[in-house]
């Protein structure tokens, strides 16, 4: 890799641009629903002993009429992993614990149980290696097959534009990753998940960066359409109960198994930003 900082900077600029586009799209949906809700942005700085430039990020949070709680966070951090954690990260080790990471992370929980919750995250990391990772997955409390098909079609198109093997590979990875073993159930209806998409030189960075951008663009195109389709649907108390119980399962996955949660906690991230994925309300029967 010719320039770690330069490539990280390019990725950071895209993640911030994607955040701005997504937040504008979500605020537009709130306006259509007669709400003046908007994102509130909270900058945060990471701290690491002996590190003069550990980075930080901005947490974006909105609570509105359609979006009960949606967080869109961008962060860029740099430093060293702990000795205990370094060996668990691609390209890092106790001898070489240095890293940089930049990315966008989004989770939306909706008021209407018929509107699917959603997760999207893309990131660029450098250790002794450099790679992109991320994906997007749909998490409806009340699934609709046509919504599932539309979401997957958008992810498939993003993948097929770059490699004909990507969609089946990354769909399978999502199905395996977003699974709750102790419940013997999937967290949602899937999507795509990829990691360690290696950037060994400038051409591979450009190629993988373009794919990561297209994943973000596909999400920005399809998810607002699904929200608009369902946001005025009538719902019952039983639908809300189903939604809240589903959110409990969602919370269990994110607290026990999610790599992003673990990474943030292990690298001194902002606790509120890390745990923004948790739903505002949930139930356990």
Residues with a known catalytic role: 119
Distance CA 216, CA 84 (A): 33
Cβ distance 104 to 20 under 8 Å?
Answer: no
Residue for token pair 């900082």 = 5
SS3 98: strand
Tokens 């930049």 sit at which residue?
102
- Closest by CA to 264, choosing from 69, 135, 131, 101, is 101
d(CA 84, CA 108): 32
Residue carrying the six token digits 């994110």: 254
Reduced to 3 states (helix: H, G, I; strand: E, B; else coil), residue 189 is: coil
């Amino acid at each position: 890799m010719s320039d770690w900082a330069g490539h990280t900077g390019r990725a950071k600029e895209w993640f911030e641009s994607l955040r701005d586009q997504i937040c504008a799209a979500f605020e537009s949906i709130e306006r259509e629903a007669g709400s003046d809700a908007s994102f509130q942005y909270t900058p945060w700085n990471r701290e690491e002993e002996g590190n003069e430039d550990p980075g930080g990020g901005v947490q974006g949070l909105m609570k509105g009429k359609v979006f009960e709680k949606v967080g869109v966070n961008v962060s860029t951090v740099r430093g060293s992993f702990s000795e205990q954690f370094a060996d668990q990260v691609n390209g890092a080790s106790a001898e070489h614990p240095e890293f940089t990471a930049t990315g966008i992370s989004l989770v939306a929980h909706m008021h209407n149980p018929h509107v699917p919750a959603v997760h999207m995250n893309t990131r660029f990391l450098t250790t002794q290696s450099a790679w992109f990772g991320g994906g997007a997955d749909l998490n409806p409390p009340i699934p609709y097959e046509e919504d599932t098909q539309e979401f997957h079609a958008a992810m498939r198109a993003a993948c097929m534009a770059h490699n004909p093997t990507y969609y089946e590979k990354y769909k399978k990875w999502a199905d395996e990753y977003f699974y709750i073993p102790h419940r013997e159930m999937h967290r949602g209806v899937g999507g795509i998940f990829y990691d360690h998409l290696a950037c060994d030189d400038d051409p591979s960075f450009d190629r993988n960066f373009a794919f990561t951008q297209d994943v973000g663009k596909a999400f920005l195109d399809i998810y607002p359409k699904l929200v608009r389709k369902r946001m005025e649907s009538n719902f019952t108390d039983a639908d809300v109960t189903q939604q809240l119980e589903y959110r409990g399962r969602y919370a269990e996955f994110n607290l026990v198994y999610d790599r992003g949660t673990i990474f943030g906690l292990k690298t001194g991230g902002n606790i509120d930003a890390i745990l923004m994925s948790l739903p505002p309300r949930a139930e356990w029967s």
